[in-house]
C-alpha cells in the first residue's frame, strides 16, 4: 500500500504535538513551584491509569467499571512490602506490585470475560467492590483509615552495584522524572502492542467478535491478555500513586475512582492513547479550577462532563482528530493515532 | 466413488430450535476437487446447516467430521483452524477497516503462534502477501485501501469471499456468495469458484440456479430441513420429486434452457 500523503501529514502533525508535549513536561520542573511539580506528577500517574483503561474500553471494547481494583491493590502491596518506618526496595516492591495486579486481573478476567455488554460492566464493578470491602471492613491494613507509607521506595541497587542509588524518590523532582519516564514507557509499550498482530486482533474483536471467532481466533484468550496487560499497567500507576501520596486507603480501589478513570477516557477520547492521557490531565485541571471557585465544585464537574458527552461525542482528542481528518479528506478511518 | 477420502462428512446431522427441526438427519460429503451445491427454498435449513458445519451453532444430534477428525460441538475458531473457511449470507466484515486490513486480519489468523505482542503487524510480509492474493482472487485488487464501509454492496460481498480465502482453507463453506452482486461480479466469482475447485472442497449454498448448475459437481436439495435428493446436476434436474417440491415447472424450464 502506498502511504496516503494526507494520512502521513496527520501522523507527522500528531508526532510534532506529542514531542512538544514531551518537551514541555521535560522542562516544566525547571520553572515552577514544588506544588505544581507534584500536581503534574499526580496527573501523569493518572494518565498512565487512564491509558491502561483505554486499552480495554477504547481498543478492546470492554467497558470495565472496576479498574481501580488493580490500582489500589498495587498500592497496598507497596504498603505491605515496606517495613514500618523504613523504605521498601523499589526493585523488589515494584515488580511485586505489578505481579500481584497482573495475577488479580488474570483471576478476575477469567470470570468477568464470560459476560459482555452491560453485564460485564456490573460484574467488573462487583469484583472491585468486593475487594474494596475486604480492605474496608477488615483489619488487614488499617480498615477504613488505611495505612501510612512513611518512606518512599528506595531505588538503591544491591551490593553488586556498590549500593548505587540512581535517583531518590524522596526528592520531588526525581519522582517527577521517574513518573514521566513511566508515562513515556507506557505510551511506547501500548503503541507497540496496539500495532502488533495482537493489537489488530483486539481491534477486530471490538468491531466484530463473532467474525473474529469464525476467522479462527480464540477471542477469549485475547481479551484475557488485554485485561491482564491493562490491570498490570493500572497496578504500576497505583504503586506510584501510593508512593507519592504516602498512604493507602480503601478509596484507592473504590468505584468512585473507577468511574473517574472512565470519565477521563471519555473526556479525552476513547481509542486514542493521547486522548486518555489528555483526559486525565483535563479532568484534574478542571477539578482544581472548580475547587477554587466553589465548594460545590462537583456540580460544575458533572456539568462539564455532560457538556463534553453532548458536544464532543468523540472526546477532546477524538474531535480534533476527526476535524483534522475531514480537512485532510483522507479515507483512512481505520485508526486514529494519538 | 472417488478414492480420495472426503474432507467433510456429516451423519444424521440435526438441529432443533425448540420444537422446530431446522435441520433433520442430514448426511453429506464433500471432497477436494468437488463443488457440492446445496439448494432449496427459503427456510429449508441451508444457512443453519452451514452454521452447524462452521461451529457457529452446536448441533442437537449427529456427527461432523473434517478430514477424518470429529469436530462435532467444537467452537468456530477451532474448526476454522482445521482449514474450514466460511462466508456469510449477510455481509459480515469489519466495516471501519480497509479492505486490505480485513483480509490481512483473516490471513494473520494462520500465524503460529498467533499471539504476537511486539513486532508491527504490518511488517509481516507473508501475511500481507496472503491478503493481497486473496483480494486479487476476489477481484478487489484496486480497492485494497478503501475502508470497507465505503465499498459498494457488491464489493463488500467480494470482500466477504476474499476474507474467507485469506485464511487458506481446504474446505470452503459459502453461504449465498452471489446474493447482491452485479452480473459482472457474479460471473467473476463463478469463474473463481471453478478455479478454486481444483484444490479445494467447496460447499455452496446459492439461489442463483444458473450459477449453481454451471459450477456444481454434486447437488443436494433440501426441503424443510431434510435432504430430498442428492446427485449429479442432470439427475437432480430430471428428478420428479425435486421438480414438484422445489424447482417447479417454470423454474425447471429456466434451468434446462
Residues of chain B with CATH 3.40.50.300: 1-83+169-257
Chain centroid offset of residue A200 CA: 21
Tell me whether residue A76 is in a domain: yes
Tell me whether residue A42 is in a domain: yes
Over residues A31-47, the mean pLDDT reads 93
A219–chain B nearest CA distance, Å = 8
Q: Which range is least confidently modeled, A158-167, B12-21, B153-162?
A: A158-167
ipTM of the complex: 0.89
* pLDDT class of A143 with cuts at 50, 70, 90: confident
Percentage of residues in chain A having pLDDT higher than 70:
94
Do residue A201 and residue B110 have CB atoms under 8 angstroms apart? no
Per-residue pLDDT tens over the stretch B112-125: 877 888 888 888 89
Do residue B54 and residue A214 have CB atoms under 8 angstroms apart? yes
Question: Rounded to an integer, what distance in angstroms lies between the CA atom of residue B57 and that of residue A328?
Answer: 44
Tell me whether residue A119 is in a domain: yes
* Alpha carbon distance, N-terminus to C-terminus of chain B: 30
User: pLDDT value at position B200?
Assistant: 93
B170 pLDDT higher than 80: yes
Over residues A132-154, the mean pLDDT reads 83
Question: Rounded to an integer, what distance in angstroms lies between the CA atom of residue A279 and that of residue A237?
Answer: 16
Nearest to A217 among B77, B86, B101 (CB): B77
User: pLDDT value at position B247?
Assistant: 62
User: pLDDT value at position B248?
Assistant: 59
Chain centroid offset of residue A195 CA: 19
Tell me whether residue A177 is in a domain: yes
Do residue B117 and residue A333 have CB atoms under 8 angstroms apart? no
Q: What is the DSSP string of chain B?
A: --SSPPSEEEEEEEEEETTEEEEEEEEEEE-TT-EEEEE-STTSSHHHHHHHHHTSS--SEEEEEETTEE-TT--HHHHHHTTEEEE-SS----TTSBHHHHHHHHHHTT-SS----SS-GGG-HHHHHHHHHHHHHTT-GGGTTSBGGGS-HHHHHHHHHHHHHHT--SEEEEESTTTT--HHHHHHHHHHHHHHGGG-EEEEE-S-HHHHHHH-SEEEEEETTEEEEEE-HHHHHH-HHHIIIIIHHHHHHHHH-
Question: Rounded to an integer, what distance in angstroms lies between the CA atom of residue A147 and that of residue A76?
Answer: 9
User: pLDDT value at position A332?
Assistant: 47
Contact B77, A217 (CB under 8 A): yes
Measured CA to CA in angstroms, residue A50 lies from A178, A263, A271, B105 at distances of 18, 9, 11, 28
Portion 160-199 of B in contact with A at CB < 8 A: 163, 167
Looking at the complex, does the CB of residue B74 fall below 8 Å from at least one CB of chain A?
no
User: pLDDT value at position A6?
Assistant: 59
Do residue B147 and residue A334 have CB atoms under 8 angstroms apart? yes
Contact B29, B6 (CB under 8 A): yes
Per-residue pLDDT tens over the stretch B76-103: 999 999 999 999 998 999 999 999 999 9
Measured CA to CA in angstroms, residue B52 lies from A216, B31, B73 at distances of 16, 18, 9
Average pLDDT value over all residues in chain B = 89
* pLDDT class of A329 with cuts at 50, 70, 90: low
Over residues A172-199, the mean pLDDT reads 95
B148–chain A nearest CA distance, Å = 10
B95–chain A nearest CA distance, Å = 8
User: pLDDT value at position B2?
Assistant: 45
What's the domain count of chain A? 1
User: pLDDT value at position A335?
Assistant: 47
* pLDDT class of B232 with cuts at 50, 70, 90: very high
* pLDDT class of B253 with cuts at 50, 70, 90: very low
Looking at the complex, does the CB of residue B150 fall below 8 Å from at least one CB of chain A?
yes
Over residues B14-38, the mean pLDDT reads 93
Do residue B117 and residue A201 have CB atoms under 8 angstroms apart? no
Q: What's the order of all strands across the beta sheet hosting B226-231?
A: B84-87, B171-175, B201-205, B35-39, B218-223, B226-231
Tell me whether residue A274 is in a domain: no
Do residue A193 and residue B118 have CB atoms under 8 angstroms apart? yes
Do residue B145 and residue A211 have CB atoms under 8 angstroms apart? no
Per-residue pLDDT tens over the stretch A97-135: 999 999 999 999 999 999 998 999 999 999 999 999 988
Do residue B145 and residue A215 have CB atoms under 8 angstroms apart? no
Percentage of residues in chain B having pLDDT higher than 70:
94
User: pLDDT value at position A88?
Assistant: 83
Check residues A288 and A56 and name the one with the higher pLDDT.
A56
User: pLDDT value at position A5?
Assistant: 57
Question: Rounded to an integer, what distance in angstroms lies between the CA atom of residue B82 and that of residue A33?
Answer: 63
Portion 81-100 of B in contact with A at CB < 8 A: 81, 86, 92-98, 100
Q: Which range is least confidently modeled, A4-8, A294-298, A330-334, B8-12?
A: A330-334
Contact A179, A45 (CB under 8 A): yes
A334 pLDDT higher than 70: no
Portion 222-261 of A in contact with B at CB < 8 A: 222, 225
Check residues A178 and A320 and name the one with the higher pLDDT.
A178
Tell me whether residue A271 is in a domain: no
Question: Rounded to an integer, what distance in angstroms lies between the CA atom of residue B133 and that of residue B162?
Answer: 9
Over residues A287-316, the mean pLDDT reads 86
Q: Which residues contact A35 (CB under 8 A, 6 or more apart)?
A: none
Q: Which fold has domain B1-83+169-257?
A: Rossmann fold (3.40.50)
Question: Rounded to an integer, what distance in angstroms lies between the CA atom of residue B234 and that of residue B238?
Answer: 6
Cell triple for A181: 519516564
* pLDDT class of B46 with cuts at 50, 70, 90: very high
Tell me whether residue A102 is in a domain: yes
B249–chain A nearest CA distance, Å = 39
Range of the domain at A72: 34-254
* pLDDT class of B179 with cuts at 50, 70, 90: confident
A8 pLDDT higher than 80: no
Report the 3 state secondary structure along A173-212: HHHHHHHHHHHHHHHHHHHHHHHCHHHHHHHHHHHHHHHH
A199 pLDDT higher than 70: yes
Range among A297-311, A315-329, B190-204 rated most confident: B190-204
User: pLDDT value at position A2?
Assistant: 43
Looking at the complex, does the CB of residue A322 fall below 8 Å from at least one CB of chain B?
no
Check residues B245 and A67 and name the one with the higher pLDDT.
A67
How many C-beta atoms surround the C-beta of residue B35 within 10 A?
Answer: 23
Tell me the chain A residues in contact with residue B100 when contact means C-beta distances shorter than 8 Å: 1
Q: Which strand (E) or helix (H) includes residue A21?
A: helix A5-31
Over residues B8-22, the mean pLDDT reads 92
Over residues B44-66, the mean pLDDT reads 94
Cell triple for A288: 482544581
Amino acid at each position: 500500500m502506498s502511504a496516503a500523503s494526507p494520512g502521513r501529514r496527520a501522523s507527522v502533525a500528531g508526532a510534532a504535538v506529542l514531542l512538544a508535549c514531551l518537551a514541555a513536561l521535560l522542562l516544566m520542573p525547571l520553572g515552577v513551584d514544588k506544588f505544581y511539580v507534584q500536581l503534574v506528577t499526580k496527573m501523569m500517574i493518572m494518565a498512565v491509569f487512564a491509558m491502561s483503561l483505554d486499552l480495554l474500553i477504547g481498543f478492546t471494547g470492554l467497558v470495565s467499571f472496576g479498574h481501580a481494583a488493580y490500582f489500589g491493590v498495587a498500592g497496598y502491596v507497596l504498603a505491605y512490602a515496606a517495613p514500618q518506618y523504613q523504605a521498601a526496595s523499589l526493585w523488589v516492591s515494584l515488580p511485586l506490585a505489578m505481579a500481584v495486579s497482573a495475577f488479580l486481573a488474570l483471576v478476575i478476567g477469567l470470570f468477568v470475560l464470560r459476560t459482555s455488554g452491560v453485564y460485564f460492566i456490573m460484574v467488573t464493578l462487583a469484583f472491585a467492590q468486593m475487594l474494596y470491602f475486604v480492605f474496608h471492613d477488615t483489619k488487614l491494613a488499617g480498615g477504613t483509615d488505611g495505612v501510612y507509607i512513611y518512606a518512599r521506595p528506595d531505588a538503591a541497587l544491591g551490593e553488586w552495584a556498590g549500593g548505587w542509588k540512581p535517583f531518590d524518590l524522596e526528592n520531588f523532582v526525581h519522582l517527577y522524572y521517574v513518573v514521566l519516564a513511566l508515562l513515556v514507557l507506557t505510551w511506547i509499550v501500548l503503541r507497540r502492542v496496539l500495532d502488533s498482530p495482537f493489537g489488530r486482533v483486539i481491534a477486530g474483536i471490538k468491531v466484530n467478535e463473532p467474525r473474529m471467532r469464525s476467522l479462527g481466533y480464540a477471542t477469549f484468550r485475547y481479551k484475557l491478555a488485554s485485561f491482564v496487560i491493562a490491570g498490570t499497567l493500572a497496578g504500576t500507576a497505583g504503586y506510584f500513586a501510593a508512593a507519592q501520596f504516602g498512604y493507602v486507603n480503601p478509596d484507592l480501589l473504590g468505584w468512585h475512582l473507577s468511574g473517574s478513570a472512565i470519565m477521563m477516557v471519555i473526556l479525552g477520547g476513547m481509542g486514542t492513547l493521547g486522548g486518555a492521557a489528555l483526559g486525565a490531565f483535563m479532568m484534574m485541571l478542571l477539578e482544581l479550577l472548580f475547587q477554587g471557585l466553589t465548594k460545590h465544585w462537583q456540580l460544575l464537574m458533572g456539568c462539564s462532563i455532560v457538556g463534553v458527552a453532548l458536544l464532543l461525542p468523540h472526546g477532546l482528542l477524538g474531535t480534533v482528530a476527526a476535524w483534522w481528518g475531514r480537512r485532510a479528506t483522507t479515507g483512512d478511518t481505520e485508526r486514529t493515532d494519538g | 466413488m472417488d478414492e480420495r477420502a472426503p474432507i467433510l462428512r456429516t451423519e444424521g446431522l440435526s438441529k432443533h430450535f425448540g420444537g422446530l427441526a431446522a435441520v433433520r438427519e442430514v448426511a453429506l460429503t464433500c471432497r477436494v476437487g468437488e463443488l457440492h451445491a446445496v439448494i432449496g427454498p427459503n427456510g429449508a435449513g441451508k444457512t443453519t446447516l452451514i452454521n452447524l458445519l462452521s461451529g457457529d451453532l452446536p448441533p442437537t444430534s449427529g456427527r461432523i467430521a473434517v478430514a477424518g477428525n470429529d469436530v462435532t460441538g467444537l467452537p468456530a475458531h477451532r474448526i476454522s483452524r482445521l482449514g474450514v473457511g466460511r462466508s456469510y449470507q449477510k455481509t459480515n466484515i469489519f466495516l471501519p477497516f480497509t479492505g486490505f486490513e480485513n483480509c490481512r486480519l483473516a490471513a494473520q489468523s494462520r500465524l503460529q503462534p498467533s499471539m504476537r505482542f511486539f513486532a508491527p503487524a504490518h511488517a509481516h510480509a507473508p501475511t500481507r502477501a496472503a491478503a493481497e492474493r486473496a483480494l486479487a482472487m476476489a477481484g478487489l485488487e484496486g480497492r485494497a485501501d478503501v475502508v470497507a464501509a465505503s465499498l459498494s454492496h457488491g464489493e463488500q460481498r467480494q470482500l466477504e469471499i476474499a476474507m474467507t480465502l485469506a485464511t487458506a482453507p481446504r474446505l470452503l463453506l459459502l453461504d449465498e456468495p452471489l446474493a447482491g452482486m452485479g452480473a459482472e461480479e457474479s460471473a467473476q466469482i463463478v469463474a473463481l469458484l471453478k478455479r478454486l475447485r481444483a484444490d479445494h472442497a467447496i460447499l455452496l449454498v446459492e439461489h442463483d440456479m444458473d450459477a449453481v448448475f454451471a459450477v456444481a459437481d454434486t447437488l443436494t436439495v433440501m426441503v424443510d430441513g431434510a435432504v430430498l435428493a442428492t446427485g449429479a446436476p442432470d439427475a437432480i434436474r430430471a428428478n420428479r420429486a425435486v421438480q414438484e417440491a422445489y424447482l417447479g415447472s417454470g423454474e425447471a424450464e429456466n434451468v434446462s434452457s
